[in-house]
Structure 1
Amino acid sequence: MNEVFESINSFFEFIVPIADFLWDFPTNYDWYASIPILGKFTFAILLLVGCGIYLTFKTGFVQCTRFSRGVRILMEKKASDTGVSPLAAFLLSSAMRVGPGNIMGVTGAISVGGPGAVFWMWVSAFFGMATAFAEAVLAQIFKEKKGDEFVGGLPFYGKKVYGDKRWVGVLLSWIFIIYALFSIPGQTFHMFTALGSVADTLAGTTFDRQSVVYYAIAIFLVISVAMTVFGGLRRVTAVTDLLVPLMAVIYTGIIFILILINFPLIPYFFKAVFAGAFTPDAIFGGAFGVALSQGIKRGLMSNEAGQGTITMAAAVADNDHPCEQGFVQSLGVFLDTIVICTMTAFMVVMAHVWTGDAGVAWESISSSKLTVYLTSIQHLVPGTSMDAAIKMIVSLCYALFAFTTLIGLILFAEISGNFISRGKSFITGIRAAGALFFVPFGALTVLAGLELGNLWYISDFVNIMVVYANVPILIMGSGIIIKTLEHYNRTNGARFISQEIGIETEYWTGNARTKAK
């Protein structure tokens, strides 16, 4: 079996340099890398940040002016014929956003760029909120009805913005499906890491990957994912409606308590973040650009603003106006980065583990970001009696982060696939590929003790393709986004009719059912 896995890994070896080149371009050229500050930024990051800044000014800082409106929409108890309310769609998108990157990415950014990376993570999130608003609005405008549900997202609005060319939507749909499916084994690995940590803590020993415990985790994971995704959109949203608030409340609650317990260290956190944002310690590269680039990169990769990967969730919501879901999805970036990522940052910075001041051998744990994070938390817990309990709770939250991301990937691949075909066999095929092939494949590689880096690079490669495709679409479609926002402001959120801003859509027509506001 190991030989089969290794041969598959070797087959995809060619993708590694391509993915690295695209993600690192043009920093992989000495002439560019030597430019102060700018030379730390890849084209992809500049594209995402630039798009966020552009849309922030074009929308009149919508992430600020409509923040409270987004909160009110979330709090409204709104009946929906499709079964997906704005809140349910928000929780569904959060299932993807609030993932292992909230711990791994932030810990990695601080480890490389110092505490100052956190400040730039906040900055990227601020502009990313405008990007999230824009892509959600486009997803809503060009959504389509499928029975009593909506489908939409990047392939649907990409087709329209690029001159109503179907081949564009088909290409975007396949790119996203490949990205989603090949991201599944990585999330499976995260699940094993977290649940394995829980099992080790409970038993007071370290289980081998060939142990019964790991096989039990594999069986549980495959069955639970299959039962969820084969239930379709409504079952997945029912699960995310339950798990996302649960894991967010438990995780933030535990971290908040630890922050209060370590209250005297709070001034140190803010001092380290703001000072490090502009003058990072020499141990982290001695350059302003290191903290800047790490913070922005990790922030954008965590909240996924501009990557088009959350647009399927935005499209399935039942709204009176496209802008409503735009306001809501903007809040998703805020929750992911400003709230949850910052909670992670508090733990890592306040514990001093990354500096070596906590009495922990940094070299022995730095290779595992989860170990760094759990060690940081353990250092902040008073005494030792609660160490195991806190470690288990946080590990379980980490596992839930991975699980909701995993089912979100399969569902969003399904929604995207609706652009290609709405046939039952095709949609079932996508569900089966995710739940019954890629999840078991990821589990088997863990059980075999392998980490197939070349294979996981496919998701990196396709993800950068989505970024390069989605951001130009947002810029090209910015005129439609602005007109839609102006319509909302002018009518105070009255029922949207696309003809009123000079465009034709399938759903938002004058013949569509009207709703009382």
Structure 2
Amino acid sequence: MEIFFNYINSIFEFIVPIADFLWDFPTNMAWYKNIPILGNFSLAIVILMGAGLYFTYKTGFVQVTKFKKGVKILSEKKACETGVSPLASFLLSSAMRIGPGNIVGVTGAISIGGPGAIFWMWISAFFGMATAFVEAVLAQIYKEKKGDEFVGGLPFYGKKILGNKHWVGVALAILFIVYAMFCIPAQSFNVVTSLGSVVETITGTVYDRQSFLYYGIVICLILTVAVTVFKGIKGVIKVTDKVVPVMALIYVGLTIIIILFNLDKVPYFFTAVFQGAFKPEAIFGGAFGVALAQGIKRGLMSNEAGQGTITMAAAVADNEHPVEQGLVQALGVFLDTIVIATMTGIVVVMASLWTGETSAAWEAARVSKLNLYLSSIQYLVPGTAFDTIVSVIISICYGMFAFTTLLGMIAFAEISGNFISKGKKCINFIRGLGALVFVPFGCLTVLAGLELGNLWYISDLVNILVVYANVPILLVGCKIVFKALDNYNNSKGGRFNSLDIGIETDYWNDNLKENKQVG
């Protein structure tokens, strides 16, 4: 088995330099790298952050002025005959956003850029909320009805905005499906290894990857995923509705308990973050640009604003006005980065393993971001029974983060697939591809004791391609969003008619005509 997987890994070796080049471009060129501050930012980060700044200005800081309205929309109970509620859509998108990156990604950003990276992570999230608003509104405006469900997202609004060319939507749909599928093995790997770690911690026994324990976890995961995704989007939502709030509350609650154990370190956290944002410590290179770049990159990669990934979740919601879901999805960025990711940052910064007596273990711990995070927890709650309990809970949260992300990937791939064909054969093929091919593949790498680094790079490659495809579309189509926002403000949230802003859509104007005919 190992020979087989190593062969597959070698096949995709050529992907690594391509993915690295596109993510780093043009910072991998000397003339650009030498530009002060800007030289630290890749083109992907520049366009994502630039788009967020532009959308924030043009919407009149919608993420601030309409924050309370978004919370109100989430809190309202709404029965939906078609589609799902705004809250269910919010939780589905959060299933994708709140992933393992909220632990290992944030820890990694701090280990490279220092505590100041958290400050810039907050800044990127603030402007990212406006980007999430724009892409979610476009997803709502151009959604389509499929039986008692809605489908939509990047392929659907991409087609309409780029000249109403069908091939554009097909290309975007295929691009996203490939991205989603190649993200699945890594998440499967994370689920299996984290659950295995839980059992090992509780029993005090290290199990071989070929043991019955790991085979049992693998079988349970494959069956659970298959049963869930073949029930369709609403089947996935039933799971995310329950799992996402629980795992978020547990993670935040656990961090609050750790903070209470270490109240004396709270002032240090804020001092380190704000000072480090502009004057990083020498151990992190002492370069302002590094903290800035790491924070912005981690913030944008964590909350996925501008990547088009949450647009499928935004489209399936039943709203009175497209702007409503835009406000809801902006809150998703807030939850992911300002709340969840910050919890990780608090633990790592308060522990500060790079200082004092713990500095000797710093270099060894920072090699593995998850181990670094766990070591930080152990430092903050030393010599107590709570230490083991925390390690178990964190491993469970890490696994659940990966599990919901995995489900979200398959669900969003299915929604994208509807652009190609809404027939059962096409949709079941995508479900089966994710649940019965890519999930087992990720599980088998665990059993083989391997981490296929080259294979995971494919998701990095397609991810950057999605960013380069989505953000220009948002910049072209944002005028429609600005008109929709004006319409929302003028009508005080009244029922939307796309004809009022000068466009025809498959749902928003035809639906109104049907309602008039029925009346």
TM bucket (normalised to shorter chain) is over 0.9
Cα distance in 1, alignment partners of residues 464 and 356 from structure 2? 35
* Aligned AA (2:172): L
Aligned position for 1:121: 121
For 1:240, what is the secondary structure of its paired residue? helix
* Aligned AA (2:49): V
Aligned position for 1:304: 304
Aligned position for 2:248: 248
Deviation at 1:402, TM superposition (A): 0.4
For 2:150, what is the secondary structure of its paired residue? strand
* Aligned AA (2:57): F
Cα distance in 2, alignment partners of residues 59 and 17 from structure 1? 38
Cα distance in 2, alignment partners of residues 442 and 240 from structure 1? 21
Are positions 1:267 and 2:252 aligned together? Answer: no
Aligned position for 1:81: 81
What root-mean-square deviation, in Å, do the aligned CA atoms of Structure 1 and Structure 2 show? 1.1
Cα distance in 1, alignment partners of residues 302 and 357 from structure 2? 28
Cα contact 1:102–1:302 (8 A) shared by 2: yes
Aligned position for 1:42: 42
Cα contact 2:191–2:403 (8 A) shared by 1: yes
Aligned position for 1:450: 450
Query: For 1:267-300, what per-residue CA distance to the aligned partner results, in whole angstroms no more than 9, with x for missing partners?
Result: 0000000000000011112210000000000000
Cα distance in 2, alignment partners of residues 455 and 356 from structure 1? 39
Q: With the length of structure 1 as denominator, give the TM-score of the two structures.
A: 0.98
5+ residue gaps, structure 1:
none
Cα distance in 1, alignment partners of residues 356 and 437 from structure 2? 43
Deviates more, 1:268-277 or 1:359-368: 359-368
Aligned position for 2:405: 405
Count of paired positions: 514
5+ residue gaps, structure 2:
none
Aligned position for 2:156: 156
Cα contact 2:116–2:275 (8 A) shared by 1: yes
Are positions 1:206 and 2:210 aligned together? Answer: no
Deviation at 1:208, TM superposition (A): 2.2
Cα distance in 1, alignment partners of residues 223 and 208 from structure 2? 22
Aligned position for 1:465: 465
Cα distance in 1, alignment partners of residues 157 and 134 from structure 2? 12
Residues 51-70 of structure 1: matches in 2 within 5 Å?
51-70=51-70
Aligned position for 1:105: 105
For 1:179, what is the secondary structure of its paired residue? helix
Cα contact 1:93–1:314 (8 A) shared by 2: yes
Query: For 1:99-140, what per-residue CA distance to the aligned partner results, in whole angstroms no more than 9, with x for missing partners?
Result: 001001100000000000000000000000000000000000
Cα contact 1:348–1:354 (8 A) shared by 2: no
Query: For 1:352-372, what per-residue CA distance to the aligned partner results, in whole angstroms no more than 9, with x for missing partners?
Result: 124464366123222111111
Cα contact 1:186–1:456 (8 A) shared by 2: yes
* Aligned AA (2:442): G
Cα distance in 2, alignment partners of residues 239 and 295 from structure 1? 31
Deviation at 1:213, TM superposition (A): 1.5
Aligned position for 2:339: 339
- Percent identity for Structure 1 against Structure 2: 68
Aligned position for 1:3: 3
Cα contact 1:356–1:362 (8 A) shared by 2: no
Cα distance in 1, alignment partners of residues 252 and 357 from structure 2? 25
Cα contact 2:193–2:446 (8 A) shared by 1: no
For 1:150, what is the secondary structure of its paired residue? strand
Aligned position for 2:387: 387
Aligned position for 1:290: 290
* Aligned AA (2:487): H
Query: For 1:58-92, what per-residue CA distance to the aligned partner results, in whole angstroms no more than 9, with x for missing partners?
Result: 10000000000000000001111125100000000
Are positions 1:476 and 2:476 aligned together? Answer: yes
Deviates more, 1:354-363 or 1:407-416: 354-363
Query: For 1:123-164, what per-residue CA distance to the aligned partner results, in whole angstroms no more than 9, with x for missing partners?
Result: 000000000000000000000000110000000000001010
Cα distance in 2, alignment partners of residues 22 and 364 from structure 1? 30
* Aligned AA (2:264): P
Deviation at 1:11, TM superposition (A): 1.3
Deviates more, 1:362-371 or 1:400-409: 362-371
Cα distance in 2, alignment partners of residues 119 and 84 from structure 1? 35
For residues 512 and 20 of structure 1, do their structure 2 counterparts lie closer, same or farther at Cα, with a shift above 3 Å needed?
A: farther
Cα distance in 1, alignment partners of residues 156 and 368 from structure 2? 39
* Aligned AA (1:38): L
Deviation at 1:206, TM superposition (A): 2.2
Deviates more, 1:339-348 or 1:376-385: 376-385
For residues 129 and 182 of structure 1, do their structure 2 counterparts lie closer, same or farther at Cα, with a shift above 3 Å needed?
A: same
Aligned position for 1:511: 513
For 1:418, what is the secondary structure of its paired residue? helix
Aligned position for 1:174: 174
For 2:9, what is the secondary structure of its paired residue? helix
Deviation at 1:513, TM superposition (A): 3.5
Aligned position for 1:351: 351
* Aligned AA (2:109): A
For 1:361, what is the secondary structure of its paired residue? helix
For 1:307, what is the secondary structure of its paired residue? coil
Aligned position for 1:315: 315
Query: For 1:10-62, what per-residue CA distance to the aligned partner results, in whole angstroms no more than 9, with x for missing partners?
Result: 11111111111100000111111122211110000001000000000010000
Deviation at 1:454, TM superposition (A): 1.1
For 2:429, what is the secondary structure of its paired residue? helix
Runs of 4+ in 1 over 4 A off after TM superposition: none
